[in-house]
Structure 1
Amino acid sequence: MQNVTDRTSNPFGLRPPFDRSDPGDQVAAFGYGDANADFHVIGDFPGIHGGETTGIPFTETEAGVEIQAVLRETGFVSGPRDKPVLENCFWDYVHMCSLPDGERPTDEDYADLERFFDAELRAINAHILLPVGARATDHVLREYTTQRHRFDLDMPSLHARDIRGRGFMVIPIADPVEWVDGDREAIVSKLEAVLASDYRQTKGVATLVG
C-alpha cells in the first residue's frame, strides 16, 4: 500500500512543539524524500547531521554530506547536494528541531519529539531502517526490535550489520566522523547486497523473528 502524499519535505505536515532555532536557521529539518520509500535513514539532530539552514536532513555538515555521498553511490540520491532528489529513500531525525549553536538536545527534548518521529516512521512504513550514530541506533533498537538487550551499543561492531526488528530490518550505520578504513566500503556493500536481494520479504520474516 502506498501513501497518499507526494510532498517531498514534511509530507505529513508535522508542526514542531517549539522553536529554539538561531536567527536565520530553519525551525527544523523535517522528514524529507520519498514518502513511499522502502529505505528509511534516521539521523540524530540537525546540529550534527545537518539541515539547520537548509531544513533538509543530511546536508551541510561533514557527517551529513558523507551519508548523502554513500546514498548517491548506491543510487538513492541525485540532484543538488543542498536540495537532493531521493528515490525509494526517506530521511529524518529522532530530534528534528534546530537548537542554538553548540547546544545538544536533552533527554527531555528527545522525549518531547519522540511522538513526531514515531508517527512519521509508522506512516512511511519502510522495509529497511538505517539509523545513523549511537543515539538513533539505540532508539530504533529499543523501540522497533525486541533485541536491544542482545547488543552493547558498540557502533563499530554494529556498523553495516543487519538486525531483525518488529516488521523491519535494521542496519545501523556508525557516525561517519568515527569511520575507520573499510567502514564506508562496508555500508556501501551492504546496501548494494540488500538492493540485489528480495528485501521486500523483510516485513514477513522480521515479524516472525523479531
Structure 2
Amino acid sequence: MKTVTDRTSNPFDLEPPCDCSPPDERQAVFSYGDANADFHVIGDHPGVHGGKRTGVPFTETDAGRGVVDVLRSTGFVSGPDDAPTVENAFLSYLHMCTLPNGHEPAVAAYDALEPFFDAELRAINAHILLPVGERATDHVLEGYTTQRDKVDLDMARLHAQEIRGRGFLVVPIRDPSSWEPGDREKIRSRLEAILGRDYRQTKGVATTVG
C-alpha cells in the first residue's frame, strides 16, 4: 500500500475557517490516526463526540469513548485515551471547528467545512467508511453512495449493516448515546467479520440494506 503520510494529527495541514471559540481555546479538533488506513470513522462535531480539550476526536464524551472502546476491542486503538495509538483507522469529524459549550453548528457552517472534509476523505481513500450517528450517516450515504433515496435513516436498523458506496463500503454506527443492549456487540462483531475477510476486495459488494 502506498504511504500517504506518517503524520498522526491533521496530516494534510487543513486550515478551515474556525474562529467561533475564544482565542485562548482550541479552535478545531483535527482528524487523527493512520492516514494510510482502510477504515475511516466519521463523527459529527467536537461538542458531540469530544476532543475540545485533548484535540483528539472521539475522546472526553461518553459517545466518543463508546466508539473508541469498540475500536480498542477490535485492535485499532491502543495506548492512553488522550493520545492513543491508532492503526489502520482514521478518525475525523464533519464539522471539526469547536464552538462555545452548548452551541451547535449551523447548517451553513457544515456546508462551509464540507470541502475540507471531502478532500481529506478522498485523500485517505479508505475502503470502509464508518459514520457515527444520524447526521454523519446521512451525509455519507448522500455523498458517497447511490443508496440514500432507498434507505430509511433509521439508525437502530442501519447500525452495523453494510451498504455499498461509490468506491466504499459504508457501515453506519448508531450514536453510542443511544445504544441499546447488544448494539456494542453488533458493531464489534461486524468489524471483526470485515477484518476476517479480504475486505480490500469489497468495494463492489452488494448492499444488505435497502
Task: Please state which band the TM-score falls in when normalised by the shorter chain.
Answer: over 0.9
Question: Contact 1:22/1:101 (CA < 8 Å) preserved in 2?
Answer: no
Q: State the 1:203 CA deviation.
A: 2.8
Deviations 1:46-103 (A, max 9, x none): 0010011111100000100111010000000001001100000000000000011100
Structure 2 stretches lacking a partner, 5+ long: none
Q: 1:95: which partner in 2?
A: 95
Q: How does 1:53-92 map to 2 (within 5 A)?
A: 53-92=53-92
Establish whether residue 131 from structure 1 lines up as the match of residue 147 from structure 2. Answer: no
Deviations 1:149-181 (A, max 9, x none): 011111000000000000000000000000001
Inter-partner Cα distance in structure 1 for 2:181 and 2:6: 38
- Greater CA deviation, 110-119 or 23-32? 23-32
Identity of aligned residues (%): 67
Q: How does 1:158-177 map to 2 (within 5 A)?
A: 158-177=158-177
Q: State the 1:4 CA deviation.
A: 3.2
Query: Which amino acid is 2:92 matched to?
Result: D
Inter-partner Cα distance in structure 2 for 1:22 and 1:150: 42
Q: 2:113: which partner in 1?
A: 113
Question: Contact 1:56/1:83 (CA < 8 Å) preserved in 2?
Answer: yes
Query: Which amino acid is 1:11 matched to?
Result: P
Inter-partner Cα distance in structure 1 for 2:101 and 2:72: 29
Q: State the 1:23 CA deviation.
A: 5.8
Q: SS at 1:95's partner residue?
A: coil
TM-score by length of 2: 0.95
Query: Which amino acid is 2:141 matched to?
Result: L
Question: Contact 2:18/2:28 (CA < 8 Å) preserved in 1?
Answer: no
Establish whether residue 188 from structure 1 lines up as the match of residue 188 from structure 2. Answer: yes
Change (3 A) 1:151 1:4: closer
Q: SS at 1:203's partner residue?
A: coil
Q: State the 1:27 CA deviation.
A: 1.0
Q: SS at 1:10's partner residue?
A: coil
Q: State the 1:22 CA deviation.
A: 4.1
Q: SS at 1:130's partner residue?
A: strand
Q: 1:16: which partner in 2?
A: 16
Query: Which amino acid is 1:139 matched to?
Result: H
Structure 1 stretches lacking a partner, 5+ long: none
Question: Contact 1:24/1:53 (CA < 8 Å) preserved in 2?
Answer: no
Q: How does 1:134-149 map to 2 (within 5 A)?
A: 134-149=134-149
Inter-partner Cα distance in structure 2 for 1:3 and 1:138: 30
Q: State the 1:189 CA deviation.
A: 0.4
Query: Which amino acid is 2:149 matched to?
Result: H
Question: Contact 2:18/2:98 (CA < 8 Å) preserved in 1?
Answer: no
Runs of 4+ in 1 over 4 A off after TM superposition: none
Deviations 1:107-154 (A, max 9, x none): 101000000000000000000000000000000000000000011111
Inter-partner Cα distance in structure 2 for 1:145 and 1:9: 27
Change (3 A) 1:201 1:104: same
Q: SS at 1:123's partner residue?
A: helix
